[in-house]
Amino acid sequence: MSSSSPVQSGQPDEPQADATAKPDTGVGVQELIDRLKSEGVQEGQQQAEALLAEAKKQAAKIIDAARAEADGIAAEAQKQAQRTETNGKRALQLASRDTSLKLKEQLQHEFRSWVGGLVRERFDDSSFLIQLIKDVTAQAIAAIDRGPGSAENEPAVKLNLLVADGQDKSVDAFIKGQAAEMLRRGVELKADRTLTHGFRVQIVQDDVEINFSDEAVTAALMRFLAPKFRQRISSLDGDA
């Protein structure tokens, strides 16, 4: 029997797929890892951007609040400074006014004392005082004599001349030397311990007193001089 050999084709046989071969999982795992990495990075970037944006918003709010608070503090400080300045100016004005008033009062007091000193100094001049007593009593008696009423009804004493107790020796000598003559003319001499300088004349019939004491003469002069003096010292404020 003849045997036949298998026929061989000219082309090589294609390899048969191994049905039991396992798929290559290395590539898939790597892709998954890369995808997770990419997604994680993107998500992280998004979260970081969101956090950054929120942080910027919060920072802006904080800055705005700080600016508003600083502006409020500055405005309040400016108001307080203005109040302090206003109060300070007002206090200075009040202090200046009080000082000016006290100074004016002191100047007026010193001016009155100065005028009183001049009056007392003049009354210490015996010749001046004697002549003043003569003139005043003579004018008073003349005024009484010219007045209405008959001579029969006139009192024996027309005037009371009150002089200071313990006058200058020359004045005292004049008063004692003229006492009889004065009494004859209706003038009665009396000592007055309340007087230190000057004299007083009382018209008995009319119950009128002419006061020539140093205090009365000083007061009369001040009624005339004080307004002019106050006007003068007030003008000094404008000159300052």
CB-based contact 213:201 (threshold 8 Å):
no
pLDDT, tens only, 162-207? 888 766 677 777 777 776 777 777 888 888 888 888 899 888 777 8
| H or E segment to which residue 64 belongs | helix 26-123
| Alpha carbon distance 65, 68 (integer Å) | 5
Number of domains into which the chain is organized: 2
What domain range is 160 assigned to? Answer: 126-239
Asked if residue 78 and residue 115 are part of one domain, the reply reads yes
Tens-place pLDDT, residues 61-92: 999 989 998 999 999 988 988 888 888 888 88
C-alpha angle 32-35-36 in degrees, rounded to nearest 5:
85
> Are 151 and 162 in the same domain?
yes
* Whole-number Å distance between alpha carbons of 3 and 13: 24
116 and 172 housed in the same domain: no
pLDDT tens readout for residues 109-119: 999 999 999 99
Cβ pair 161, 187 in contact under 8 A: yes
* 50, 113: one domain: yes
Is residue 5, in this structure, part of any structural domain at all?
A: no
